[in-house]
Structure 1
Amino acid sequence: MRTWYIEDAGGGCRAFSEVLVLVSEEPQEVYSVKLPLTWNEDIGMSEMACRLMIGLMKKAGVSKSDRVLVCSGNIFHTLHQWLEKEGYNWETAKMDGIAHHSAEEAFYKQLVEAGVPANFKLEDRDYRTFYRQVEKWVKSQPDPARYWKDREARMAPAKTRYRLRNTFARPRKCHKCKGKILPYSPMVEYRLRHKGKKTRHYFHPACSPMEPYKGKLDYATVKVDGQEVEGIILPCKEESPCPVCGRPIKAGERAFYGYLGDILVFGHLPCLLGRKGSLQY
């Protein structure tokens, strides 16, 4: 059984490619690969790093009986999941020794090859100062764009930008059908930051281009005048009286919100679930 170490370098620098290394200390073998500065596929940095590292592992002949120690950084998040799913003998570990030094040397080598002054050195692991020096040098070059990482490409995949939310008291306009998303209704929110500018679009759940990545909305069904009303359970924004019991729904207290036609049905959930007789809104 061999022990393999997986480490990265350069992720904190806005310029130049991140370097990934796969290292065995006994016998000593070092494999390395650079992430591209950009790519066109709709996969994030973690997915790209996983793909490249799988290629290195195949090249090195890493077996499932070997021990694999992986840096805990976010760049390897997808790789962690893949190793677990595939049944590898792996765990996260703080990197040092040959793996750490190999990654740092490989990152530094590409700087020197690009013309970064050789006196720019990482000292006492002061990465912030070192990376600022490098970035300042990049800005001074005639064509700095050739060195910058594409941050948009490194974002999480598009599907993770869709979140299941609710409108609360504010109606929204669906980006697809252009129809109104009613207050106190489920909606899908799409968020993207491009060149420092935030973009948000809103969709009816049925209009969303993708299944929302995460959602914590609680749903319930109550009966109002013999008709079932499906709605969501939300914390009340402002104190208001419950139409069923007359007691206040306090700000922050969870309450039911749903629609019977175009009429908003709301109140304490236990009150609505246990209600008898007609209800006026």
Structure 2
Amino acid sequence: MRTWYIEDAGGGCRAFSEVLVLVSEKPREVYTSLVPLTWQTGQTLEEVVLELVLEMMSRAGVTKEDQILVCSGNIFNDLHKYLQENQYNWSTARMEGLAHEIAEQVFFEQIVNAGFPAYIKLTSRNYREFYQLVEKWVLENKSRLRYLKDRRVRQKPIGNKYCYKANRSRPRHCSKCHSSILPYTPMVECRMNVHGKKVHRYYHPECSPVKPLKNKLVTIETTLNGQPTCGVVTKSNREERCTLCQKSIPAGQPAFFCYNNDQLLSFHLSCLSIMNTPAEA
């Protein structure tokens, strides 16, 4: 069994390709790849990265028995899902050794080969300051603009900003129809930045302007008083009382909530299970 490290560099810089590396320390074996500055396939950045890493893994002969340590950065989100779904022996890790050194070295060589002053170097992982110097150098000359990343293809689909989830104990107002979203009912939450400020907007699921790509909504179908009922599982912001056992449901504890004739009912998940267990003959 071998241990492989997967790391990236340059993702926080508006210019030059992100560097991807696949490294084994013992025995030493190094594979590198550059993410294109742009592409026309309609893929997300994470999908492009996944393809490039899988190609490196194929060249290296990585097996499911090998240990794979991957940087936790968002750029590897699709890779994380792939490794999990395909039952690889993997985990996320903070990169400190050879993989990190090589990724930074390859990124630095890339910008120096383009003409960036070699004496200006990254120190103490001060990425923001270093990347600002690189970006300033690129923007000083129109001929260097070709080194800028295509931010359009790297933008996440707008659906990523929207998420199915359950409203909690406070009512909210739908940003489209302006009517109330009842506590403990399904809704869509949108998180975005507007003029540098974080803004949250809320919608009834049928009022959402786009189909969310994220889903944190958990629903359960049950029977109450002989009638089929659907409710949500979520945490309350305040203490509630279980309709079945009349005991407290502490704030922050997951519970089942539903409505019956406009009356809100709440249940411990354990009580819901007991209620749905068929009686013995």
Cα distance change on mapping 1:56 and 1:239 into 2, 3 Å: closer
Q: Percent identity?
A: 36
Cα distance change on mapping 1:118 and 1:172 into 2, 3 Å: same
Q: Are 1:67 and 2:66 counterparts?
A: yes
Measure, in 2, the Cα distance between the counterparts of 1:27 and 1:234.
49
Cα distance change on mapping 1:32 and 1:114 into 2, 3 Å: same
C-alpha contact 1:64 1:87 (8 A) present in aligned 2: no
Query: What is the Cα-based RMSD across aligned positions, in Å?
Result: 4.9
C-alpha contact 2:229 2:258 (8 A) present in aligned 1: no
Cα distance change on mapping 1:229 and 1:65 into 2, 3 Å: closer
Cα distance change on mapping 1:10 and 1:195 into 2, 3 Å: farther
Deviation of 1:121 (Å): 0.8
Deviation of 1:6 (Å): 2.3
Q: What letter corresponds to residue 217 of structure 2 in structure 1?
A: G
Q: What letter corresponds to residue 158 of structure 1 in structure 2?
A: G
Measure, in 2, the Cα distance between the counterparts of 1:5 and 1:234.
37
Measure, in 2, the Cα distance between the counterparts of 1:39 and 1:199.
32
Measure, in 2, the Cα distance between the counterparts of 1:179 and 1:209.
19
The residue correspondences of 1:1-281 to structure 2 (distance < 5 A) are 3-25=3-25, 28-39=28-39, 44-58=44-58, 60-64=59-63, 67-74=66-73, 75-93=75-93, 94-97=95-98, 99-142=99-142, 144=145, 146-148=147-149, 150=151, 153-155=154-156, 158=159, 161-166=162-167, 168-172=170-174, 182-184=181-183, 185-193=185-193, 196=196, 200=201, 202-204=203-205, 209-210=211-212, 212-216=214-218, 222-223=224-225, 230-232=230-232, 256=257, 258=259, 260=261, 264-266=262-264
Measure, in 2, the Cα distance between the counterparts of 1:148 and 1:33.
16
Larger Rg: 1
Q: What letter corresponds to residue 263 of structure 2 in structure 1?
A: V
Q: TM-score, normalised by structure 2?
A: 0.65
Deviation of 1:104 (Å): 1.4
Q: What letter corresponds to residue 5 of structure 1 in structure 2?
A: Y
Cα distance change on mapping 1:266 and 1:22 into 2, 3 Å: closer
- 1:239-281 alpha-carbon deviations (Å, 9 max, x no partner): 99xxxxxxxx999998955364xxx3236669xx9xxxxxxxx
Cα distance change on mapping 1:27 and 1:235 into 2, 3 Å: closer
Measure, in 2, the Cα distance between the counterparts of 1:236 and 1:26.
50
Q: Secondary structure at the match of 2:154?
A: coil
- Higher alpha-carbon deviation: 12-21 or 199-208: 199-208
Q: Secondary structure at the match of 2:36?
A: coil
- Higher alpha-carbon deviation: 126-135 or 107-116: 126-135
Q: Secondary structure at the match of 1:104?
A: helix
Cα distance change on mapping 1:108 and 1:152 into 2, 3 Å: same
Cα distance change on mapping 1:70 and 1:212 into 2, 3 Å: closer
Measure, in 1, the Cα distance between the counterparts of 2:114 and 2:194.
28
C-alpha contact 1:160 1:213 (8 A) present in aligned 2: no
C-alpha contact 1:255 1:266 (8 A) present in aligned 2: no
Q: What letter corresponds to residue 66 of structure 2 in structure 1?
A: R
C-alpha contact 2:218 2:234 (8 A) present in aligned 1: no
Q: What letter corresponds to residue 73 of structure 1 in structure 2?
A: S
Q: TM-score, normalised by structure 1?
A: 0.65
The unaligned stretches of length 5 or more in structure 2 are 241-248, 273-281
Cα distance change on mapping 1:217 and 1:192 into 2, 3 Å: farther
Measure, in 2, the Cα distance between the counterparts of 1:145 and 1:256.
55
